[in-house]
Chain A
Amino acid sequence: MSEYKSDLTKLEKVFEEYESNPENLITILQKAQEIYGYLPKDVMYKIGEKLKVSPAKVIGVATFYSQFRLEPMGKYLIMICQGTACHVSGSEKLASAVSDYLGIESGKTTSDGVFTLQKVACLGCCSLAPVMMINGEAYGRLTPEKAISILSEIRKKEAAE
């Protein structure tokens, strides 16, 4: 009944690599997310079919773990650390400033598809607190102003392209 839109052939090599065992569900979902950038429904159905796990269970797992995204992600993934060290160094103000600047809440993507904002558990760069990470690169000892200037630079760059 669902419309299959994703290119499911890309999953083949994942299925080759991992045994079709329900135990491997999380790992296969992780691999699928690497391929598609997120977890489209038809991909999850396909994985469930292959592993003999019901669609309800697959979606149950995909919505349980914060790593999984059910919607496409923005070009830049901004992760704002919510660890204790960052908290005592003002990460809450940082997060709300970034959230205000982008006009989105944590977990959402800007309408232009450029930024996805995610508040995350401790990134482990506690000595650099407060920290945000953009596409894997850490920016430390931030203030709301510094963070916004970093983002506006990216915006400018994107607008120019």
Chain B
Amino acid sequence: MDKIKLFIDGKEVLGTKGETILNIAAENGIEIPNLCHSKELKNFGACGVCLVEIEGNPKLQRACSAAIEDNMIIHTDTKRVKNARNAALELIMSDHEGDCVGPCSLNCPAHTDVQGYLKKIAEGKYSEAVEIIKKKIPLPASIGRICPHPCEAKCRRRLVEEPISIAYLKAFAADRDMESDSPFVPDIETGSGKNVAIIGGGPAGLSAAYRLILSGHSVTVFDSMPEMGGMLRYGIPEYRLPKSVLKKETENIKKLGVIFENNKKIGREEFSVLKKEYDAVLIATGAWKDMKIGCPGEELSGVFSGIDFLREINIGNVPKIGKKVAVVGGGNTAMDACRTAVRCGAEEVYVIYRRTRAEAPAEDIEIEEAIEEGVIFKFLTNPAEIIGENGKVKAVKLQIMELDEADSSGRRKPVPVDGKFEILEVDSVIAAIGQKYDSFGFEEMELSAKGMLLADEKNCSTNIEGVFAAGDATNKGASIAIAAIAEGNLAAAVINAYLLGVPFEKAEHRYSERNVTEKDYAEKEKAKRAVMPVKSPESRRHNFDEVINGFSEEQARNEAKRCLECGCHDYGECKLIRYADENRINMRKYKGVKHDIFTEKELVSIERDQGKCMLCGLCVRVCDEKIGKSLLGFRGRGFKTAIKPEFEHSEDIADCRNCLECEKICPTGALKIIK
């Protein structure tokens, strides 16, 4: 038959009369989004996503069914089309009840696929678990030990009983992988011929190095210290993260071809050389300068900064701290400092913190273990003066504090109680109240008002072309290691695009999130969280041996099995979320009640989640039109419509068991094969 000519988005195409716009567009490489269409089935027209505008036709048409005509002028991307299409997607999302990815992963700064690797751990496939973890975290054994695990804070299992011990499971898998005969080794792309200099071998720098070497670039990491690892190596005490574990992991990065240049402090001159000799430079120097307490007596001998103190210890020196030590601060560095002080032989160690335990930013387990080790917490006190004698610390005068009303951030502000003080006799004071970036050598870089290195949060770029920055040194300042890793990953992606000369756009992902409460898990069988075996306080107080003993394999696998698998199995394949991202829809534009949610298990080998169903009817129609069974059907009318199977005889269920066509055709994750 003769071909007819038409225009789609200005492109002239040929087609046969009677063909649909959708097909002609697809044949010509123009994708018109659609959710309820299948070539195998009759046209349905439910989703309203494939709408197009045809010149001369006052109404928008559904491309899945509208037939082409000679000289038709079709637009698939006018404002009107986009509005109507996005409305369909936004309306579906307002009625969609499902988690695209688990809250654990969403709350992890690096978006590690927790559910994915827990599943592998549950199956005993540790190297495969590490493969998943290393897509985001190149140092899993180390991070697993020290991460304050925001993932666990959002773990849905807490609605059943307690969150899953995600961080330790990560360390477990990484340890097993490293011990195994064939540890995971990532694939490296062929060389790009470009080279990158990374200044700083901490979590941010090493993550960027790992990602960039895998992308095929040459990478050199410069670090002023003798060993790589940054704060992981010099800030975190041995008893929490053994140097040997970290060393193995940094060595693994080195084995991939990253050049490590230790003991190389980069100053102004070196920096200008790097800028010339490398195609890109990443500054990831961290935040190593202490904040001052700001009270009289800080200059006395016997006053240490937390960072310096820990670094000295980690280098192998033992500063003279005496028998009585006061550590100022309530964060994790303060905990590391006080517990290290105990291990250095101090007999009385105090923590001075101006708020209460509830407000302390340190991990609760750290506080707990410090107390077990004999640390005395002086909550609601603040140093007013460090009293000296002969230039040496003799005591610290503490202002007694109380909590005021909550401020705008929700934290209650500590205020001094007039005239109430306490004198605490000490030999040394360790101030662990915060860290700052040291701009020495990088004077040409623009700084934030707070003195941090200014980098674009979306693409790590700085005021100098080709120089990028990430990690504790930048913007908001020091944070947790996993946040630095996330930034390192982002910087690597940006630098990769920069080196390849392609524009970088930070992938903006939308997620559907379920709204759940304890009630939703009332039926779930309880299983207690695995307790990490630890050394007793007595046996650990006087040495730097690792406190934890690690999970047994049985413990680890059972713990991993507790995962509720909140994230959608179909996230990677889901057309709905892909369109949501591609069309940049507003996921929360429309609010309102959702249709009745239930999980249908009668299909035996397939589970149907009505929460994720958008009634495209593909499963119903494939069962009817293609298979000829019609076991699935629409139920009810209007907003309350649902899809349910109906079996009159048990043979029908048997009939249903093996075809799985409905699962294959579902554009979202509403259907899932369970056997």
Mark A residues whose CB is within 8 Å of B. 1-2, 45, 48-49, 53-60, 63-66
Residue of B nearest to A65 (CB): B637
Across the interface, A54 reaches (CB within 8 A) one of B629, B644, B650, namely B629
Q: Which residues of B contact A65 (CB under 8 A)?
A: 637
Residue of B nearest to A53 (CB): B630
The answer on a CB contact under 8 Å between B648 and A59 is no
Q: Which residues of B contact A53 (CB under 8 A)?
A: 630
The answer on a CB contact under 8 Å between A60 and B647 is no
The answer on a CB contact under 8 Å between B637 and A59 is no
Any A CB within 8 A of the CB of B634: yes
- A111–B630 Cα distance when bound, in Å, is 36
- A66–B202 Cα distance when bound, in Å, is 67
Query: Within the complex, what minimum Cβ distance (angstroms) separates B535 from chain A?
Result: 59
Residue of A nearest to B632 (CB): A56
The answer on a CB contact under 8 Å between A57 and B630 is yes
Query: Within the complex, what minimum Cβ distance (angstroms) separates A106 from chain B?
Result: 14
- A66–B645 Cα distance when bound, in Å, is 21
The answer on a CB contact under 8 Å between A57 and B633 is yes
Q: Which residues of B contact A45 (CB under 8 A)?
A: 648
Known contacts A54-B629, A56-B630, A56-B632, A63 near B637 by CB under 8 Å: yes
Across the interface, B633 reaches (CB within 8 A) one of A2, A49, A59, A66, namely A59
Query: Within the complex, what minimum Cβ distance (angstroms) separates B374 from chain A?
Result: 65
Can you report 28 A-B residue pairs in the complex whose CB atoms are below 8 A from each other?
Answer: A1-B647, A1-B649, A1-B650, A2-B648, A45-B648, A49-B648, A53-B630, A54-B629, A54-B631, A54-B646, A55-B633, A56-B630, A56-B631, A56-B632, A56-B633, A56-B646, A57-B624, A57-B630, A57-B633, A58-B646, A59-B633, A59-B635, A59-B646, A60-B635, A63-B635, A63-B637, A65-B637, A66-B637
Q: Which residues of A contact B633 (CB under 8 A)?
A: 54-57, 59-60
Q: Mark B605-644, 1 if CB is under 8 A from A, else 0.
A: 0000000000000001000100001111111110000001
Q: Which residues of A contact B650 (CB under 8 A)?
A: 1
Across the interface, A63 reaches (CB within 8 A) one of B620, B629, B636, namely B636
Query: Within the complex, what minimum Cβ distance (angstroms) separates A58 from chain B?
Result: 8
Residue of B nearest to A46 (CB): B648
Query: Within the complex, what minimum Cβ distance (angstroms) separates A62 from chain B?
Result: 9
- A58–B635 Cα distance when bound, in Å, is 10
- A55–B644 Cα distance when bound, in Å, is 11
Q: Which residues of A contact B624 (CB under 8 A)?
A: 54, 57
Q: Which residues of A contact B647 (CB under 8 A)?
A: 1, 55
The answer on a CB contact under 8 Å between A56 and B649 is no
Q: Which residues of A contact B637 (CB under 8 A)?
A: 63-66
The answer on a CB contact under 8 Å between A1 and B635 is no
The answer on a CB contact under 8 Å between B644 and A56 is yes
Give the interface centre of A45, A48, A57, A60 by most chain B CB atoms within 10 Å.
A60
Give the interface centre of B624, B633, B637, B649 by most chain A CB atoms within 10 Å.
B633
Which chain B residues (635-671) contact chain A, with CB distance < 8 Å? 635-637, 644-650
The answer on a CB contact under 8 Å between A55 and B646 is yes
The answer on a CB contact under 8 Å between B629 and A60 is no
Smallest CB-CB A-B distances: 3 pairs: A56-B633, A54-B630, A56-B646
Q: Which residues of B contact A63 (CB under 8 A)?
A: 635-637
The answer on a CB contact under 8 Å between B634 and A48 is no
The answer on a CB contact under 8 Å between B648 and A48 is yes
Q: Mark B284-323, 1 if CB is under 8 A from A, else 0.
A: 0000000000000000000000000000000000000000
Query: Within the complex, what minimum Cβ distance (angstroms) separates A8 from chain B?
Result: 13
- A48–B648 Cα distance when bound, in Å, is 10
